A and B are shown apart, each in its own frame.
Chain A
Amino acid sequence: MLSIKNLQAKIGEKQILQGIDLQINAGEVHAIMGPNGSGKSTLASVLSGREEYEVTEGEVDFLGKNLLELSPEDRAREGIFMAFQYPVEIPGVSTINFMKTALNQIRTYRGQQALDAVSFLGLMKEKMKLVEIDQSLLNRSLNEGFSGGEKKRNEVFQMAMLEPKLSILDETDSGLDIDALRIVANGVNKLRSQNNATIVVTHYQRLLDYIVPDFVHVLYKGRIVKSGTKELALELEAKGYDWIKNEVAAV
């Protein structure tokens, strides 16, 4: 589904991604872990098309298309979704309103008919249940005055609405208490299928008790320095990141 080869990217003069290789197939869940500042959010941003980041080397193929050539909106329409680490607040734009526009522009792109108001509402109700989110929240200005947990839940709600092929969850667990974490993880798990894939970015193993990954990668200083299965996450939890840092330093 997604094939990343030697991806390098910088922001301003600062080189952040130093050559990333990653292969993700349909049905898989990949966890990307690593200490703060290692480039996890940068990778997520580059994949979703944020313009501040300049790709200096490498290729990204998504379902046979050169992802790096597509605009952010076309990437979303092709099936990429990023749940933001820091969702922005947009005064005056409600989640419901912009989701309707988003969904219908995606449908038009795919040659499907726009949803009428009734079908949209039906779909919305169904997805609201999935992430246990209240409609009053969705009527309000996007993320304005939302708690940390409400923002993250709203991200997962949007993901549920758009039914992406590849979801990238950037620290969706940060700022969540254990109940909120369970709800968010539960939503993500219900959306998992053999046809889609998920990248879970986190630096705690805690989330991975709920969203069980097939593979775990450790990102450090812009490189994937270690890959393994879910046991790697437990090992990291036990030993801390210094273990990885020392290993890298020794090479």
Chain B
Amino acid sequence: MNVATKRDLVSELAASRTRSYSPADQALREDALTYLKNTGLPISKTEEYRFAPVTRILEKNFDSLTLSSQVNTVVSVNEFLIEGLKGNIIVFVNGSYAPALSKIVSNPDQIIIKPLSKALVENEEVVSALLNQKEDYKKDPFSAVNTGLWSEGLFFHVAKHTEVKEPVYLLSLNDASSAVSVHTRIVGWVEEGSEVTLIERFETTGHEAAFHTQVEEISVAKEAVLNYYKIQNDPGKSIQVCNTLIHQSDHSHVNTFTLTMNGEVVRNNFSIAIDGEHCESHFHGLYLLTGNTLADNHTVVDHIKPNSFSNELYKGVMDGHSKGVFNGKIYVRPQAQMTNAFQSNRNVLLSETSTINTKPQLEIWADDVKCSHGCTTGQLDEEALFYLQSRGINKDSARAMLLYAFASDVIATIKDETLKTYFDQLIAERLHKNF
């Protein structure tokens, strides 16, 4: 039992259980909740959550975590779409699929996209091969919360040798006009030789507390490509914990970009299992924080097989009272000879009250590998600021110019032009780019 907290948050959560979708699903949910009751939510001494007081903020923001799911009152999501992006739109409102707001345009022979609840029945074999297979809820208490309580999810399955031209845009919109607790799931499979782009965006309206967990398990088969984007932009009193696991097979490529901008606490546990040879993984993140936001990126790159390449670049700009946390684990297993693994974490602190905790953790068991990591934390370069000012540029513009330049190499990695423009706008706005 969790002794440090007065309240029994696990029981509060368990009492708001959603229904299950199959007997196997029912059994899994019960196992997860039983496990959670025994282990409890992380406390301040829990090493993995030292800097992310998710449990404490849950207690602070919620009178009770026993919440019934709300009816969907959202009639339009236009303001949350990406201009010019032609693709599949899947909208979840408070963790329920909103068919009227969604639009699936891709040919089902190329990609099956449907709510996970439906797929559990209609595509039972595929789903059961993936659901809770790559991700183990025992690894993280919020993964267990999610496994016990998920209400809806996204299922996608790309057929072999198919380049899906239309991206899959998943908008998770939470209406926090009253407190909400939302648990969603993604299960995806990109089959051999195929390519797909997934864009996830989190938004919240309303000013009450919101708690969102998501677990994602995506399998990228031989020679397949996954482009993965995530935009975390929940303002207000929102707490989000995402557990993402991407599994790669031989010759597959994965490109990820996580942009974190808002939220009270955002915790990403993001793992890439490189379980194949000759894989490439480009693992990018940008956290641009203001106010009281705390964003904690815990990443794992796990080189299981030989001859693969991974490059991780996470960058952060912290202003106000915000806190950034980066923990980057790289494992190179004994068999994973000839691995190339690079990691870099760079941070700029704009205020005296903002902080960053950064910790690379490399564990290398193979001997013939190339690995490097580096992290830097600093203020804006005063010399560079003065240089720009001495050319007639005012201080605010000069600051924005330097910050934007700092973020620009991460933006440059986005291949799709529409998406790049969109990310560029978000980032430029956040950094007050006015030139």
Contacts and interface: CB of A to CB of B under 8 A. Distances in A.
A102 B384 contact: no
A71 B389 contact: yes
A113 to B, nearest CB: 16
B80 interface: no
B402 A101 contact: no
Contacts of A101: 393, 397, 401, 435
A73 B405 contact: no
B408 interface: yes
Contacts of A77: 392
A158 interface: yes
B435 to A, nearest CB: 4
A109 B392 contact: yes
Contacts of B397: 101, 105
Given A88-B381, A93-B401, A98 B408 contact: no
B395 A73 contact: yes
A162 interface: yes
A120 interface: no
Interface in A90-110: 90-93, 97-103, 105-106, 109
A241 interface: no
Contacts of A213: none
A99 B388 CA distance: 9
A26 to B, nearest CB: 21
A48 interface: yes
Contact of A90 (B389, B390, B402, B409): B402
B6 interface: no
Interface in A44-60: 48-51
Interface string B405-435: 1101100000000000000000000000001
A72 B435 CA distance: 18
B394 interface: yes
Contact of A76 (B381, B384, B389, B409): B389
A98 B392 contact: no
Secondary structure at the A interface, as helix, strand, loop or mixed, is helix
A109 B386 CA distance: 18
A105 B383 contact: no
Interface residues of B, number: 23
Nearest to A72: B389
Nearest to A91: B405
A53 to B, nearest CB: 11
Nearest to A90: B384
Contacts of B402: 90, 93
Interface string B364-406: 0000000000000000010110111111111101100110111
B78 to A, nearest CB: 32
A105 B406 contact: no
Interface in B298-351: none
Nearest to B409: A92
A87 interface: yes
A82 interface: yes
Interface in A64-86: 71-73, 75-77, 81-82, 84
Nearest to A84: B387
A136 B435 CA distance: 22
A105 B390 contact: no
20 contacts: A71-B394, A72-B389, A73-B390, A73-B398, A75-B390, A76-B390, A76-B391, A76-B392, A90-B384, A90-B402, A91-B405, A92-B405, A92-B408, A98-B391, A102-B391, A102-B392, A103-B392, A105-B392, A105-B393, A162-B392
Given A98-B393, A102-B391, A141-B405, 9 more contacts: A49-B386, A71-B395, A77-B392, A88-B383, A90-B405, A92-B404, A101-B393, A101-B397, A162-B392
